[in-house]
């Protein structure tokens, strides 16, 4: 080894490369350890000495790296496809569950709306039937006695709650709702009234109202007629 170094022009120890000096130091340390191990195991059996030397040598021998597991690209693709398939199935299950809930909500809403519509139409038909019954039941003619209810607001300085009137004319409207011209014992009412506004007083005995001549009466508003009654 020194001959090789001499050929390279290295004559002194100070001229040795640093990496070469480090390598020599490692070899010296390993030799010292082995010598100490041999001297300490001198009293042991040969088999024990061999085992001890082997253990000491293993400490300074480089450990071989574990063999790398090679996975082919085809296997990688299969694994990735399997993972993607599992994730896709999970997302599909969630989407199907959401769609099912939405469909259930829409179905329930449609059913409730249909039931409400049927109930509403039934109530409308019932009210219309009652209205028609009242209208046809209380059909009045000229000369009949009727009453107009005096509201609380209109009863200022007025004691009666009903103003007795007599029908002096009937006018048929386009919506089959007749309107009536009324008079009291003191005036003809300016406004016309429908059947729902009237109270049936045919069984009451208002002789002066039956015998009054409406052609000689002035025209008044409803409130004025109530005060004049």
The predicted-structure confidence for 102-138, as pLDDT tens digits, reads as follows 677 777 778 888 888 888 888 887 776 776 666 555 6
- Which phi and psi (to 5°) does residue 66 adopt? -65, 140
Q: Are 148 and 165 in contact (CB under 8 A)?
A: yes
Question: Residue 89: which residues within 8 A CB-CB, separation 6 or more?
Answer: none
Cα 99 to Cα 140: distance, rounded to the nearest angstrom:
63
Give the whole-number percent of the chain exceeding pLDDT 70.
Answer: 46
Give residue-wise pLDDT tens across range 179-218. 899 999 999 999 999 888 889 898 888 899 999 999 999 9
pLDDT of residue 96: 61
Mean model confidence pLDDT for the chain? 71
**163 strand-pairing partners:** 148
Query: For residue 162, what are the contacts with CB-CB under 8 A and spacing of at least 6?
Result: 147, 148, 149, 150, 199, 201
Query: Rounded to two decimals, what is the model's pTM?
Result: 0.42
Per-residue 3-state assignment (H helix, E strand, C coil) for 144-185: CEEEEECCCHHHCCCCCCEEEEEEEEEECCCCCCCEEEEECC
Whether residue 9 has pLDDT greater than 70: no
- Number of Cα atoms under 13 Å in the Cβ half of residue 99: 6
> How far is 224 from 185, CA to CA, in rounded Å?
13
Residue 8's CB is within 10 A of a number of other CB atoms, namely 10
């Amino acid at each position: 080894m020194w001959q090789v170094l001499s050929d390279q022009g290295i004559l002194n120890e100070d001229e040795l490369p640093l990496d070469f000096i480090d390598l020599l130091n490692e070899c010296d340390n390993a030799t010292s350890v082995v010598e100490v191990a041999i001297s300490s195991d001198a009293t042991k059996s040969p088999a024990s000495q061999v085992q001890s030397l082997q253990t000491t040598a293993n400490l300074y021998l480089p450990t071989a790296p574990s063999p790398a597991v090679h996975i082919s690209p085809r296997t990688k693709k299969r694994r990735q496809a399997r993972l993607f398939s599992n994730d896709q199935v999970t997302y599909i299950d969630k989407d199907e569950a959401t769609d099912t809930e939405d469909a259930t909500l829409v179905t329930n809403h449609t059913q409730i709306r249909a039931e409400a519509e049927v109930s509403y139409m039934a109530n409308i038909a019932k009210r219309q039937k009652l209205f028609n019954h009242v209208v046809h039941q209380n059909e009045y003619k000229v000369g009949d006695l009727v009453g107009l209810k005096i509201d609380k607001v209109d009863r200022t300085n007025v004691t009666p709650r009903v103003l007795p009137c007599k029908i002096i004319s009937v006018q048929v409207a386009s919506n089959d709702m007749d309107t009536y011209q009324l008079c009291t014992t003191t005036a003809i009412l300016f406004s016309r009234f429908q059947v729902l506004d009237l109270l049936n007083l045919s069984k009451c005995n208002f002789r002066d109202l039956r015998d009054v001549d409406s052609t000689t009466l002035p025209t008044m508003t409803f409130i004025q007629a109530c005060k004049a009654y």
